[in-house]
């Protein structure tokens, strides 16, 4: 069985690596692997604090994927990917005023009713966990199992491990899916050359709905602008999130002296602009939550596109076109859902069926 993966971001590479470990001959095609959403992602592995009310199926998939992370990282290290650190200090969702406290109480009750691990903290308990928090913080929720990982380190590890297990990477632009007799047969590249395969996996992130020859897919780009900052060691132990003037902001440490601050969520197509307004708002809100952010060096600003779907959940498994398998639409949770997606698609490619945990995420029967 030969497999062609369109897209060398975290999802595409992880699928390729997992499939190749199971003996399949896998080629990944990407002009610049890891330059899309994987480059901008903050790396929150946050089934509680990233899912909205009612997104219970997505949360279940997210928890499944998070549970797979330790073995996934151990396998990566075993295949020459080196050690990628899972940061396990948990996540604090903080609030500033009486309205925020009501909202944290409701969220707390909802998580507890759903059997999810969470603690309601007073302001001083929150500051004991994160001394850099603003003195204006009135209370918080602590989600001890919402972790994080540095997505760029994970991508580098996947590239190394994929190469160890024989994944072939073609750094070319994809022009179209080739289709013969109603079946996907491979990819045509920008230089007009073609690569054939028994199965093609569509892992083009926000571009998944734009591949000529592929069936229409309800995947759209949702622009996110983020900032990377550097300072002294130890500003934050774990992720801190807040709602400031109605806007969500998160601060995610990805090294002892580095933070990501994010993110906007904009319906502006593939607009690549980093705007002064977004940088201003993100910094203003982050400084309100953690005043010490004002002292940090701003080292990078970036805009990329999440692969959004109508119900915010990924599209996994068979498509309407035989021979074309979907591994896309991960919206805000691509890093978190990488292990579960890779294992599910590898199961499908080798055994013909998706595992039960992924079955609700096929495009069939969804209101998309």
Site residues, ligand GLY (CB under 6 A): 42, 44, 50, 224, 262-263, 306, 332
Residue 59's CB is within 10 A of a number of other CB atoms, namely 19
**DSSP-derived secondary structure letter, 80:** I
Nearer to ligand GLY, 27 or 239 (CB): 239
**DSSP-derived secondary structure letter, 266:** B
Nearer to ligand GLY, 86 or 101 (CB): 86
Q: Residue 302's closest CA among 329, 278, 286?
A: 278
Q: What are residue 3's DSSP bridge partners? A: 26, 199
Q: At its nearest, how many Å lie between ligand GLY and the CB of residue 29?
A: 25
> What's the chain's length in residues?
368
Q: At its nearest, how many Å lie between ligand GLY and the CB of residue 279?
A: 15
In angstroms, the CA 15 to CA 154 distance is 14
Nearer to ligand GLY, 168 or 284 (CB): 284
Q: Which long-range contacts (CB under 8 A, 24 or more apart) does 272-281 make?
A: 272/303, 273/303, 274/225, 274/301, 274/302, 274/303, 275/225, 278/225, 279/225, 279/227, 281/247
Q: At its nearest, how many Å lie between ligand GLY and the CB of residue 170?
A: 28
In angstroms, the CA 125 to CA 132 distance is 13
Nearer to ligand GLY, 21 or 147 (CB): 147
Contact 184, 177 (CB under 8 A): yes
Q: At its nearest, how many Å lie between ligand GLY and the CB of residue 228?
A: 14
Cβ contacts of residue 272 below 8 Å, gap of 6+?
303
Q: At its nearest, how many Å lie between ligand GLY and the CB of residue 62?
A: 11
Q: At its nearest, how many Å lie between ligand GLY and the CB of residue 188?
A: 32
Nearer to ligand GLY, 50 or 64 (CB): 50
Q: Residue 206 region, left (φ>0) first, then alpha (ψ -120 to 50), else beta?
A: alpha
Nearer to ligand GLY, 44 or 140 (CB): 44
Nearer to ligand GLY, 169 or 227 (CB): 227
Q: At its nearest, how many Å lie between ligand GLY and the CB of residue 46?
A: 7
Contact 12, 3 (CB under 8 A): no
Q: At its nearest, how many Å lie between ligand GLY and the CB of residue 173?
A: 26
Nearer to ligand GLY, 200 or 263 (CB): 263
Looking only at the bridges linking them, the beta strands covering 174-180 and 258-262 are unpaired
**DSSP-derived secondary structure letter, 93:** E
Nearer to ligand GLY, 142 or 332 (CB): 332
Contact 235, 287 (CB under 8 A): no
Q: At its nearest, how many Å lie between ligand GLY and the CB of residue 252?
A: 9
Taking CA 241 as the corner, what is the angle to CA 55 and CA 133, rounded to the nearest 5 degrees? 155
Q: At its nearest, how many Å lie between ligand GLY and the CB of residue 331?
A: 7
Nearer to ligand GLY, 65 or 178 (CB): 65
Q: Residue 346's closest CA among 10, 21, 9?
A: 21
Residue 308's Cβ-count burial label (10 Å; 0-12, 13-18, 19+) is buried
């Amino acid at each position: 069985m030969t497999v062609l993966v369109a897209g060398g971001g975290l999802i595409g590479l992880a699928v390729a690596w997992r499939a190749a470990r199971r003996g399949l001959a896998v080629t990944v095609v990407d002009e610049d692997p890891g330059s899309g959403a994987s480059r901008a992602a903050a790396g929150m592995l946050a089934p509680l604090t990233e899912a909205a009310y009612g997104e219970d199926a997505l949360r279940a998939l997210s928890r499944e994927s998070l549970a797979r992370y330790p073995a996934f990282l151990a396998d990566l290290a075993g295949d020459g990917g080196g050690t990628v650190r899972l940061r396990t200090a948990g996540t604090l969702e903080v609030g500033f005023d009486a309205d925020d406290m009501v909202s944290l109480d409701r969220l707390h009750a909802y998580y507890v009713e759903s059997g999810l691990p969470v603690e309601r903290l007073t302001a001083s308990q929150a500051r004991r966990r994160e001394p850099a928090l603003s003195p204006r913080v009135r209370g918080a929720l602590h989600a001890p199992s919402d972790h994080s990982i540095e997505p760029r380190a994970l991508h580098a590890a996947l590239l190394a491990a994929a190469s160890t297990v024989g994944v072939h990477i073609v750094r070319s632009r994809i022009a179209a899916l080739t289709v013969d007799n109603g079946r996907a047969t491979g990819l045509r590249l920008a230089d007009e050359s073609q690569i054939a395969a028994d199965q093609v996996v569509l892992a083009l992130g926000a571009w998944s709905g734009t591949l000529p020859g592929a069936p229409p897919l309800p995947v759209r780009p949702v622009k996110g602008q983020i900032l990377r900052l550097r300072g002294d060691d130890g500003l934050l132990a774990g992720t801190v999130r807040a709602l400031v003037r109605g806007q969500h902001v998160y601060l995610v440490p990805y090294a002892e002296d580095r933070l990501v601050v994010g993110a906007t969520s904009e319906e502006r197509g593939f607009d690549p602009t980093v705007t002064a307004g977004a940088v201003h708002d993100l910094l203003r809100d982050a400084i309100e939550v953690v005043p010490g952010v004002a002292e940090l060096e701003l080292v990078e600003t970036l805009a990329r596109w999440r692969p959004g779907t109508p119900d915010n959940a990924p599209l996994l498994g068979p498509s309407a076109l035989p021979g074309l398998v979907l591994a896309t639409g991960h919206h805000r949770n691509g890093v978190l859902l990488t292990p579960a997606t890779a294992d599910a698609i590898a199961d499908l490619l080798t055994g013909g069926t998706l595992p039960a945990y992924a079955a609700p995420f096929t495009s069939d029967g969804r209101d998309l």
